[in-house]
Amino acid sequence: MYILGLNVYHGDSSACLLKNGEIICAFEEERFTRKKHWAGFPVNSIHACLDEGGITIETLDYITVSRNPKYNFRKKIKFILSRPHVAFNFWNRVKNRSFVKDLSSDFTKYFSLSREFYESRIRFIEHHSSHLASAFFASPFEKSAILSVDAFGDFSSTVVAIGEGNKINRLGEVNFPHSIGQFYTAFTQYLGFLNYGDEYKVMGLAPYGIPKYMAEMECILKLSSEELKLFRLDLEYFTHHTQGVHTKIEELNDPTPSITFSKKIEQLFGPARLPNEPLAQKHFDLAASVQKHCENSIFHILRILHPIVNTDNICIAGGVAQNSVANGKITRSTKFKNLYVPPAGHDAGTSVGSALYLYNHILSQKRSEPMFNPYLGTYTSNAKIKQILSVSGLEYQYFEDYELCNRVAQLLADGNVVGWFQGKAEFGPRALGGRSILVDPRRGDAKELLNAKIKRRESFRPFAPSILKEYVDDFFEVKDSVPFMEKVFPIKPDVQHLIPAVTHVDGTGRLQTVDKEYSSKYHQLISEFYKLTGVPILLNTSFNENEPIVNIPEHALNCYFRTNMDVLVLENYLIIKDLNK
Ligand SMILES: [Fe+2]
């Protein structure tokens, strides 16, 4: 049975293909269009799915979409009717109708599908059911609590549920306009970060501040002790419920939201920071307060959930599940002992979630296998790379795996910045050794070096460590598997001086534990680096420069030429800039 799963007309549009419940590939459309968070119809990703599966679109048994315009429809209408005085145009019937119509016409336009075929195959899966499924049905747990925590989707922001076998039962939800994600986004905008997905910058800023505005935060986002009411926003601080959230999805496929904090936030904290204004201590303290309150809100929900579900397992997805700092504290701050967060916990992952929900929950098929492999995207063979390089005019060398890893490890230890392009591209926002830029983590000047040579990004943002799975507890306070860089853990104080490049200002690191089973060549490279230096860690940042992560060798070469990257490794081909001057 083939299911094509889609996230469409929404930030981070994507497609995946399920074959008999197994995820055989998944692609984010931004990697093809080269526009970050691209939010249109994922036509390139769909073609890539069909190619990878070796099938035509007529072979598909189902097409799932991670949105159901009919869900919460009565609540939407009730909400709009209760506020006739506001120009509320985001959640309206016309929009929902056009979503369904656009999808049908795009399928007809790009794939020449007959209306009968399309209508017999399409299934609309509610947004949070897709998030919940993307976590639980991909997890190794037979039974687990599940949390979808987000900005908004299908008129809800948060859903708590329990998963057992191939079923998910929802226990409660928080509806529009109350949202932890919206709370975080409004302060992200107030702090001068206006792009879609900039929330991670506030998370990076937080350790520089003191959470001295907790009393204010607790008034703006109030935690509720009433069972499953969970929390409420004080709406006077926001505008999304009166002005709507406007984006440029329809014209430009750009999901960047309009400003959603109200004047009352400026009355309380002073004028909002402009994007180019220097960061002051107040901004750091606000970031620290927002981050801490976000963490407290998640822990609050999980403490309510734990006694209801009778399990110590928890799965999390949704935009707020991208908060790796909060994720890293869950097993230490709540009674849950085991946490699974999928590689694409954000909206791109809902394509996978919608397909998994249909296969498992609706069709009641045999439970899907756990997902520990994030390498589900585009692949280019050595033969194809050789073809590309042979016409590039570059000097290059081919090495077998062992010799390649040995040489690259030495180049890293010698201080070179290395572009590492291997295997299938990662599905999800993190580079995990498939499309990565690597640096020696022992370098105190790595941040300056990377910023000067490759990425001109904010100096406060930390770089992340990839560590051999076998050595996690030599360096980190918590021994756990973190395959998708989805958790931040404290680094042991006595080893922080060994890896200054990946130790954040508060002594933490957003680690990736590298497992030989899923990342054999990357594991081999770090092992060779360990033999040379005694450090089983590399600094790993995404292979890009103010663009989506590179997808194909041409993107990697383009980035290599544009920047001052020293070394480029394309599968088994090694290119050294010094030899090409
Ligand atoms: Fe979402």
Could you tell me the distance, in angstroms and rounded to a whole number, from the CA of residue 127 to the centre of ligand 1? 6
Could you tell me the distance, in angstroms and rounded to a whole number, from the CA of residue 277 to the centre of ligand 1? 31
Single-letter residue type at 269? F
Is the pLDDT reported for residue 545 higher than 60? yes
Burial class (CB in 10 A: 0-12, 13-18, 19+), 227: exposed
Arithmetic mean of pLDDT, 33-51: 97
CB 575 within 8 A of CB 560: yes
Q: How confident is the model at residue 546 (pLDDT cuts 50, 70, 90)?
A: confident
Beta strands in 479-572 (DSSP E): 487-490, 508-514, 537-542, 567-570
Is the pLDDT reported for residue 100 higher than 80? no
Contacts of 470 (CB under 8 A, 6+ apart): 536
Could you tell me the distance, in angstroms and rounded to a whole number, from the CA of residue 180 to the centre of ligand 1? 12
Could you tell me the distance, in angstroms and rounded to a whole number, from the CA of residue 151 to the centre of ligand 1? 7
Higher local confidence (pLDDT), 427 or 96 = 427
Closest CA to 517 of 341, 371, 342, 373: 373
Could you tell me the distance, in angstroms and rounded to a whole number, from the CA of residue 555 to the centre of ligand 1? 29
Angle at Cα 65 formed by Cα 59 and Cα 68, nearest 5°? 140
Could you tell me the distance, in angstroms and rounded to a whole number, from the CA of residue 317 to the centre of ligand 1? 8
Q: How far, in Å, CA of 293 to CA of 287, rounded?
A: 10
Burial class (CB in 10 A: 0-12, 13-18, 19+), 115: exposed
* Segment 328-373, tens digit of pLDDT: 999 999 999 999 999 999 999 999 999 999 999 999 999 999 999 9
Report the interhelical angle of 520-533 vs 401-413 (nearest 10°): 50
Mean pLDDT of the chain: 93
Residue 274 φ/ψ, nearest 5 degrees: -80, 150
* Segment 55-96, tens digit of pLDDT: 999 999 999 999 988 877 788 778 777 776 554 555 544 454
CA–CA distances in Å: residue 379 to residues 51, 421, 426: 12, 10, 10
Could you tell me the distance, in angstroms and rounded to a whole number, from the CA of residue 157 to the centre of ligand 1? 8
Arithmetic mean of pLDDT, 295-316: 97
* Segment 173-232, tens digit of pLDDT: 999 999 999 999 999 999 999 999 999 999 999 999 999 999 999 999 999 988 788 999
Q: Starting from the edge strand earliest in sequence, which strands make up the sheet with 62-65, in order?
A: 22-28, 14-19, 2-7, 62-65, 122-124
DSSP assignment of 181-209 equals: HHHHHHHHHHTT--STTTHHHHHHHGGGS
CB 40 within 8 A of CB 99: no
Per-residue pLDDT, 76: 77
Contacts of 520 (CB under 8 A, 6+ apart): none
CA–CA distances in Å: residue 171 to residues 34, 152, 305, 357: 39, 18, 9, 17
Could you tell me the distance, in angstroms and rounded to a whole number, from the CA of residue 314 to the centre of ligand 1? 18
**Ion ligand 1 contact residues with beta carbon within 5 A:** 150, 153, 347
Query: What b/e sequence results for 67-76 when a residue is b if at least 16 CB atoms lie within 10 Å of its CB, and e otherwise?
Result: bbbebbeeeb
Could you tell me the distance, in angstroms and rounded to a whole number, from the CA of residue 133 to the centre of ligand 1? 12
Q: How confident is the model at residue 463 (pLDDT cuts 50, 70, 90)?
A: very high
Could you tell me the distance, in angstroms and rounded to a whole number, from the CA of residue 265 to the centre of ligand 1? 25
Per cent of the chain over pLDDT 70 is 97
Is the pLDDT reported for residue 559 higher than 80? yes
* Beta pairing partners, 6: 15, 65
Q: How far, in Å, CA of 509 to CA of 191, rounded?
A: 23
Is the pLDDT reported for residue 444 higher than 50? yes
Could you tell me the distance, in angstroms and rounded to a whole number, from the CA of residue 318 to the centre of ligand 1? 5
Could you tell me the distance, in angstroms and rounded to a whole number, from the CA of residue 181 to the centre of ligand 1? 9
Whole-prediction pTM value?
Answer: 0.95
